[in-house]
Structure formats: C-alpha cells, structure tokens
Structure 1
Amino acid sequence: MQELLSGSQMKAVDRYNIETLGIPSLVLMERAALAVAREAEKLSKPEDRVLFVCGMGNNGADGLAAARMLVLHGRKAEVLLVGDPARATEEHTVQRRILEKLDIPVNTMDSFPEYSIESPYGLVVDAIFGIGLSRPLAGEAEKAVSLVNRAASGGSRVLAVDIPSGISASNGQVLGIAVKADVTVTFGYEKVGMVLYPGTSYAGRRIVADIGFAPIPHMEPLARTFFPGEKGRLPRRPADGNKGTFGRVFLAAGSAGMSGAACLSAKSAYRSGAGLVEVYTVEENRPIVQTLVPEAVVTVYTPAVENGSEQEKYEGLLKRAAVLVAGPGLSTEPYAGKLLAGLLQEAKKREIPCVLDADALNLLSGNRELFRYLHKNTVVTPHMGEMARLTGKTVAELKEDPIKAAADFHRETGAVCVLKDARTVVASEKGIYINCTGNDGMATGGSGDVLSGILGGLLAGLSAEERQNGAVADLAELGVYLHGLAGDKAAERYGRRSMTAADLAASVSEVLLAWE
C-alpha cells in the first residue's frame, strides 16, 4: 500500500525532518531540485529554452535551485519571479544569490513583457506555489498561472514542482485557476490532491521523488492506495475446500424488466471466488437467469404476496448464506422495501456481511428506519447521486470533499462506505482508501452490479473470526481495486468507448489469474 498525505501532513513531515531530526532544509531542497532538474532534462531538448516560474516560498526556491542545475548541465534556463521579494524565505534568498553570481537571467513580473511567454520555450517549470496553498489565486499569482497555461497552449511542455500551482493538496480542488502540467515531480509522498479529481487531471504524469524524508513515527496518512501494478492479497483458498468453504452468496436482485442486473452481479460473484450463488428474484426472471448464469441457484417470489410479515421466511432464506448482496435491479416498490427490511434484520441477527447497492440504497434513503440494520460488516456502494439521496447533500457538495463525505457516513452508521466516482473512496475502520484503477469506459450501465458481485464473492469465504478482525473493510478496498483493474483490462481489449459491463465481468478472471 502507498500512503497519501494531505498538505498539512506533508508540512509536518518537513518540520519533523528539519527541526526534530536536524536535516538542514537546504540539503532536502538540493535533493528536490536535483529530481526536478533531471526530469526537466528528459522533457526538453538540449537546444530548448527553459523558463522557471518561481514564487517567493520554498517551492520557488526549489525551482531556482533546479534552474541552476540545468544551466550547469549546459542547458539554457531563465527565471521569472512571482510575488513580493520582501516576503521571500531565507532559502529562497540563498538560492537567488547563487543564480546572480552565475549570471543566470532572473526577471520579475513587472519587467517581463507578456508577449515574452509566446517565445518558443520548450519547457516551462511551475514552481509558484507548493502544498500549502489554501486560498483562491488572485493578482500577480493568477496572472502568472495564466501565463504558464498560455505557454502550454502555444506548445510548451509544463513541469510542476511538488504540485501544480492552484491545486489544493488535501482535496484536489482548483483554487480559482491552476496550472495544467504534463508532469508533476512531488517529494517524499504522493499528495491526496494529486490523486483526486480534478487535481489529478492537472498533475499529468506523477513522479514521487525520494529526497530523504524520514517518516513521522505513528503518523496515520490521510489515505492509502495500492501501488501501480500491486497484486492484491486474496482470501485463502484451501486445496481441500468445497462449495461451503468458499461461501454462499444470497443475491436479492432483479425485478420485472431488470434481469440483467441480477445476472451481471451473479456472474461476478462466481468470478471472484464464491462457492455458490443463490439469486432471489421475481418469477419473470427465472428463465433468463437460469439461461445466462446456469451455475446459479434461482429462488423466486411473487411481489403481490411479499408482505414482509413472515420473518421465518427470511430465516430460511439466509440459513446457509455467508453474505447478503441486495439491490441490483431490485426496484423501489413497496414490496421491495419490505423484502429488504426482512433480509437486513435477519442478516444482522446472523452477523453475516451485507453488500447494499443500487435500489437497496434508494430504499434506505426513503426509509431512515432501515439505517439501524447497518453495522461494521455492511458495505454500501453509492455513486454520487445515491449518496446525495442518502445524505441530503448535493452532488456538488459531495464532490468538493469526497473523503469527508464517505468518512462522515461511515462514522454515523458504522458501515463501510464505498463512494463511487472517477476516484472511488472507501471509508472504514481501517481509514481511507482511494482507488486509482479504472477508466471512463466503466461509466456504463451495469458496472455497479459487477462491483456488488465482486464484493459478494470476496466476502463469501470469510470466517466469523476474520469478519470480526476487520477483513470486510480490507476486502472492500481490494474489491474496488480489482473492479478497476478489470475495467482497465476490458478497455485494453475493447476500448473505453465500446466496452460493456459484461466485458468488465469477464475480465475479472483475467486479473485474478495474474494474482494466483
């Protein structure tokens, strides 16, 4: 797992290394600048002119030092300073004096004509603001960011130092205006704001440079994610196991005209390791499910007689279930609400994990009484629209800080919250996980049904002891990661524009094969 820090956490790491451990600030700065200079050389040609746009803080000082290193390597570099020189940091002053002694050109915004940015700079380096920015850009800083982006429109490549100026390091929001970089070199740890949207789209290709930071003992990162290419740790699968060992998924899904959701979820549960899947659906769906998922057991009910008063019926239905998955295509009719209430009550009594998706979430938002059945082994998987209905917030409010939205829901209900978006956030007792796999081709009908099936299949094989020790939260993170990787595999094969949820479900086995 890779740790992701907020801006304030990264500042604390910086202070700890300088003030507590005694590592000189200029030593860390030289290492950071070297990493930037090396990448600048890769992004530019020997004959290119390179412009370093530097603020007055230590981010700008990093840029000044990198400019010097580039010149000493025989490249053509010049500097544009942004901000009040009277507010320059001590390190910034040191680095600028070195540049002056080396006769490296240094301009200020008031002496730098706007038309100069139209000159053919092969590369522009953004070192205006670092991770501490928390207010919208204005004045000279806003103008400088506009100049950098104008250069990019004219063909210059853009390299950001630590984080693109104008992006919040803690939530990825654009603070008025932001630099659109091709590459960002960040130091020590990746920042949350470079992973979440929209920040990640401004950061471009992200490079984490090791400059010698020692971690703060016992500091919990704001979030975690899997390293690129990391293999997930799957539940153990004993060689002498049987259907019962690997668990029975009870899938309450599908309504009239919505059989596809049940089929996709059932297939995905099998693909991710379930021993048996029982689909509980309306009579109309029996022949379709039996045809498309012949491995599944199909149990049917008639909505007209689903009155929710026969709790003994739910005891029988869940008697052998290892996990309950409810919601894909279930409908939000009154009968579905009664069915869900009965199943959730029995699942909580039996202490089996639950995965609630789609219509189960819509039924929850319409009946707050159902929240009492949520617990730490319940996984809810809302997309932004469903989360808005569950919380009463707008989608725009949720997107401003998805980490807080997911964490608040987890704290209030105890459930593992999988808040689905371009960057899915998982909040649980284990903390915050941000998923970085997947692509826009997954924005198609049925993708969420595949995820619910994957989660059900992974959770089905857990023992009671594993459930008590937090394995449900671990597997929720793993399931989201697997779902995204399957989406990436499907995109490679069919293209993001053409892939379907069925392609996604079929790709699950390809990812798992590589993990065996």
Structure 2
Amino acid sequence: MSSSTRHCSARARPLESHASQANLPLALYSADGVRNLDRYLIDKQGISGFQLMQTAARSAFRQLLRRWPQTGTVLVLCGAGNNGGDGYVLASLALRHGLAVKCLALTDPAKLQGDALKAWQLASAQEVEITLSAQLTDSELSLWLQQADVTVDAMLGTGLQAAPRDEFARVIALCNQAATPILALDVPSGLNASSGSAAGEVVSADATVTFIGLKAGLLTAQGPAVCGELVFEDLGTGPQLTRCSEPLLATRADWHNCAARIPRRVANAHKGHFGHVLVVAGDYGFGGAALLVAQAAARSGAGLVSLATRPEHVTAALSRCPSVMSHAVTDDGDLAPLLAAATVIVCGPGLGQGTWGQHMLQQVLACNKPLVLDADALNLMAGTVAVSSNQHILTPHPGEAARLLGVSVAEIESDRLVAAGKLQSQYGGTIVLKGAGTVIAGAGGQLALVSGSNPGMACGGMGDVLAGITAGLWGQMADPEQVAITAAALHLAAANSATEQFGFMSLQPTDVINALPRVLADAGF
C-alpha cells in the first residue's frame, strides 16, 4: 500500500500546533504561482537564484537546530532540481557547523544544471561526503537512515506532477519506515504542492520549512498529514513581493483572523437581533442529528432556535434542549408556519431519503430564505440544480461532494480546491467542502481554506455541529461566504479546545458543542 493511501503512518507524526498555524501568511499560491514569484524576484528585483537558494538553506538549517538542538549527524537526500540544490547548500552549512554530514544523491550530480549544479559544486569543494543512493541496498540505506539524528528531504520539491518513480519511490518508502525524524525542504517529496494530493509514495515529515510563498497543498488533503510542523520563511523577500501581481490560489483563514468578523453585541441587544434558526431534521432513528444541529446553533449565538422533527423525537428534544422550541412535523402543513417565522433554515441532518424527508426538503427549497443544506438534503439534491437563489450554503463531506458532482471520492480528494469550485459553479451559493483543510468556494469565485486539522473530528455527528454553527452565525452576519469561513474556523477551534481535555480518540460532537462557549468567551464574546 502506498503512503498516499495509508490512514496510519508507520511513523507517528506530531500535529502542528494551533499557535503556529496562526503565524502563517494568509496568501496561498499554487506551485506555478510560487515559481512565478521566484522568477519575479530574479528578473525584476535582481536577486540571483543562487542567493535565494543559499538563504533558503540557511533558514532551513536554523529550523533544524531549533527543533533538534542536540543533532550531531545529518543525512541529506538530494534530488536533481533546485530542491536538491537547497539540500546540498544545507549540507555544506551543517558541515561548517561541525556536524557529521552525509549526502545521498538520487540522481547523478554530474547531470545537474544551473543553481543546483553550483550547490553541488559548493558541497563537493567543502568535501561533503556525497554518495549515489542507487549504490546502496535497502538494508544499507536503512542503516544510514537509522544512524542519522535528522534526515533532510530535498528530493522533489514543488515540480512534482505524478507519483514518484523508481529510486525516489524506494528512498521515500525507506524514509517512512525509519524512526529518524525528517525535515522537508519546501514540500514533502511526493506531495502535490498545489492540491495536497499524493499519487504515490510521499515523505511523512516531522517538520516542513516552506519558502517565498505558502503553497495551498501543504494545508489540505494529504498536506496536514505529512507536513508535520509547518514553518514559513519569506527569505526577506516580503517587501519586494508586495509589488508582484501574481494571483492567489486561495486565502488562508483560521479562528484567529475570523473571530473579528462576528459583530459585537450592544448592551441593549435582544433575541430578535440574532436570528431565528429553524432546524428541519431527524427522521425515524436519526433524532440525535437534529438535536446536535439545534444545540450547536444555540451555542453559536442564535437568538431563537426551533426544531421541526418527527413527533417521536420531541420529548427527547425538550429534555435535552429546553431553550429550543421543538415541533412535531408529520406533513407539509405542519412545516409551513415554522418556515414563515424563521430567518435561517438548516435542512438535511438525519433527514432520511424517504417520502417525509423529500417533502420537507421540497418545502425548504421553495421558501426563498437563507438555507444551510447538509447530509441527506445534499444526497436528495445530487444531480439536480434545485436551489432557486444564491442564499444558501452547502456543507458536503467528500462523499457527498462526489455524489453531487457524479464523480468518485478519489477525484474530489485529488484536488479539493478545484472540486469546491466545480460544486459552486453547478449548485450556486457558497460551498463548504469539509475535511482536513476545509475549502470554501464563494459565489464570486473566491476560494478560502481553513488551515488546521483534527483527527478527533473523524466521527459521526461532527458535520451536524458545523451545520448548526453555520446557521447560528448566519443569524448574526450578513455575508454567507464570511459566515461559512467563520463557522468552519470556529468549528475547528472548538474541536481543538475540546481535544485538550478529551484527546482525539474519545472526542464526540457534544464535546465540541460544549467547548463553543469557552472558545467564544476567549475571543471576547
């Protein structure tokens, strides 16, 4: 099984800290976009490529010493391009610093060109030990990896377009089997820097130092699982790049920069100021989903919350959520007055795909009010364009997104940013493609990416909580795109907060709901 399809790595990697995420820049680029930034610095700002390479290597070496200060032996894996050049320069720096250094060249250094050739010549002149990796057997290479205190991945960089092959695939696999910590330069080898997909073997790094521009693929799909701690170094080029017009692929968001979007409450506020959320959910056997949505909406600051559900769930709802106005709904006539009173409607969690759920959804789609559509509402909509206005937010996970677009889940995950854009083009409104590195596609074509991930959220009911948070915030904020981004960021922040108490394996949706007051209070709400 390739590294790209494993759910549990052979080498446990620490998750990136939430604080370090907040220190990352907001601008996200594609791999081509960052190469254009490099070209701008070289052609328009007069900075030589080799100077950038040397600065990158110095920055990466500082991070190596910061994270592993007791390092005595470094193994540097160097490819053929500028990423390999970064590795050769870093090896030279480590040797001058007094460390024991070995370089493994995955391609013949004599065939290098340009700045990468200069870097190899520098390392050779300083008598860095350089060996062709192909000359080592698997057991010999494994021994080299085990003897190093830190392995530096400078093999493939941002130019990767397909699965690593031959020698690269072999070395990556052996790296991941070893216990030696790995520092990746710019991007873990095997990872697509634009999409975050990994078509084959991919380095599972403990830390990644990325340069010049932040690549979107480091923050979504496979990126969060293989980057480890993510450190951004602009190499001192920030002032020059302010004059560069290279377009962004997406904009990064997190709770730190989203909290300010929520309006502050005035002293004489009343419940009518903060929206009336109606939750239409909970067919037979799925009453829990409806309760999770309603509770999350209430905890997110909705002024009023009503629940339209099967009669069998009303007693439990009254007991669990006394502040929620729970209504038994059996036919179309029961729902109409509730829709008329609401300002925001959530439909889909536990709705089912039977006659009752279909009738509920038809009325919801016809009401011409702000809608949050999730779960079975999306499954019932799949293949149709059934929403009459752009006042809606769709919150699919990859499986639901695949059904909506009529493709495979693998195709969705191969480029989550493209998939979110396609969903928005076909279904309108605002799209929230959930997952590690949630992607939001707005009606104007803009893409946002909520950075960070939490494996504890991989359990049933987490999406119901997000739907409730989204509706609760929409009663207080006007712009659906900003609502969606802020809700996804708050959802992750609450999960991270709850994880501090419960860990990952035991985390439940109710834990996330219960953490909302603490996260909001810490932000001044």
Both proteins in one fold, TM over 0.5: yes
Q: How does 1:27-426 map to 2 (within 5 A)?
A: 27-44=51-68, 48-109=72-133, 115=140, 117-119=142-144, 120-149=147-176, 153=178, 155-213=179-237, 214-215=241-242, 217-226=244-253, 229-230=256-257, 232-236=259-263, 237-303=265-331, 306=332, 316-346=337-367, 348=368, 352-365=369-382, 368=384, 371-426=385-440
Secondary structure of residue in 2 paired with 1:318:
helix
Instruction: Find the aligned partners of 1:498 and 1:146 in 2 and give their Cα distance.
Output: 31
Deviations 1:258-292 (A, max 9, x none): 32222211111111111101112222222222221
Deviations 1:408-452 (A, max 9, x none): 010112121112223322211362222334522222232222111
Note closer, same or farther for the CA distance 1:335–1:201 as it changes in structure 2 (3 Å cut). closer
Q: CA deviation at 1:113?
A: 6.2
Larger radius of gyration: 1
Note closer, same or farther for the CA distance 1:315–1:218 as it changes in structure 2 (3 Å cut). farther
Secondary structure of residue in 1 paired with 2:393:
strand
Instruction: Find the aligned partners of 1:129 and 1:334 in 2 and give their Cα distance.
Output: 53
1:4·1:191 contact (CA, 8 Å) conserved in 2? yes
Instruction: Find the aligned partners of 2:412 and 2:134 in 1 and give their Cα distance.
Output: 41
Secondary structure of residue in 2 paired with 1:373:
coil
Instruction: Find the aligned partners of 2:142 and 2:242 in 1 and give their Cα distance.
Output: 40
Q: CA deviation at 1:69?
A: 1.4
1:406·1:419 contact (CA, 8 Å) conserved in 2? yes
Q: Which amino acid aligns with 1:493?
A: Q
Secondary structure of residue in 1 paired with 2:184:
strand
Note closer, same or farther for the CA distance 1:404–1:49 as it changes in structure 2 (3 Å cut). same
Corresponding position of 2:451? 436
2:255·2:493 contact (CA, 8 Å) conserved in 1? no
Instruction: Find the aligned partners of 1:194 and 1:122 in 2 and give their Cα distance.
Output: 25
1:166·1:176 contact (CA, 8 Å) conserved in 2? yes
Instruction: Find the aligned partners of 2:336 and 2:244 in 1 and give their Cα distance.
Output: 48
For residue 459 of structure 1, the aligned residue among 455, 468, 474 is 474
Q: More displaced, 100-109 or 480-489?
A: 100-109
Note closer, same or farther for the CA distance 1:148–1:28 as it changes in structure 2 (3 Å cut). same
Secondary structure of residue in 2 paired with 1:457:
helix
Note closer, same or farther for the CA distance 1:11–1:328 as it changes in structure 2 (3 Å cut). same
Instruction: Find the aligned partners of 1:288 and 1:147 in 2 and give their Cα distance.
Output: 54
Deviations 1:469-493 (A, max 9, x none): xx11011011011111111122211
Q: Which amino acid aligns with 2:443?
A: E
Instruction: Find the aligned partners of 1:256 and 1:117 in 2 and give their Cα distance.
Output: 56
Note closer, same or farther for the CA distance 1:68–1:265 as it changes in structure 2 (3 Å cut). same
Note closer, same or farther for the CA distance 1:483–1:133 as it changes in structure 2 (3 Å cut). same
Instruction: Find the aligned partners of 1:272 and 1:184 in 2 and give their Cα distance.
Output: 35
1:438·1:486 contact (CA, 8 Å) conserved in 2? no
Unaligned ranges ≥5, structure 1: none
Q: CA deviation at 1:191?
A: 1.6
Q: Which amino acid aligns with 1:286?
A: V
Q: How does 1:433-512 map to 2 (within 5 A)?
A: 433-462=448-477, 466=478, 471-512=479-520
Q: CA deviation at 1:31?
A: 1.2
RMSD: 2.3
Q: Which amino acid aligns with 2:381?
A: L
Secondary structure of residue in 2 paired with 1:511:
helix
Secondary structure of residue in 2 paired with 1:319:
helix
2:37·2:244 contact (CA, 8 Å) conserved in 1? no
Secondary structure of residue in 2 paired with 1:285:
helix
Instruction: Find the aligned partners of 2:506 and 2:61 in 1 and give their Cα distance.
Output: 41
Corresponding position of 2:44? 20
2:210·2:230 contact (CA, 8 Å) conserved in 1? yes
Q: CA deviation at 1:53?
A: 1.6
Instruction: Find the aligned partners of 1:44 and 1:487 in 2 and give their Cα distance.
Output: 29
1:78·1:104 contact (CA, 8 Å) conserved in 2? yes
Corresponding position of 2:17? none
Secondary structure of residue in 2 paired with 1:221:
coil
Deviations 1:118-149 (A, max 9, x none): 14122221111110111222233334434544
For residue 515 of structure 1, the aligned residue among 488, 510, 523 is 523
Q: More displaced, 30-39 or 416-425?
A: 416-425
Instruction: Find the aligned partners of 1:146 and 1:357 in 2 and give their Cα distance.
Output: 39
1:83·1:141 contact (CA, 8 Å) conserved in 2? no
Deviations 1:317-362 (A, max 9, x none): 333322111122222221321222122212x2xxx31101122122
Q: Which amino acid aligns with 2:344?
A: V
Note closer, same or farther for the CA distance 1:124–1:8 as it changes in structure 2 (3 Å cut). same
Unaligned ranges ≥5, structure 2: 1-24
Note closer, same or farther for the CA distance 1:148–1:449 as it changes in structure 2 (3 Å cut). closer
Q: Which amino acid aligns with 1:481?
A: A
Corresponding position of 2:13? none
The percent identity for this pair of structures is: 33
Q: Which amino acid aligns with 1:63?
A: G
Deviations 1:65-110 (A, max 9, x none): 1111112222222322222445412212222222233222222335
- Alignment: residue pair count: 492
Secondary structure of residue in 2 paired with 1:379:
strand
1:47·1:76 contact (CA, 8 Å) conserved in 2? no
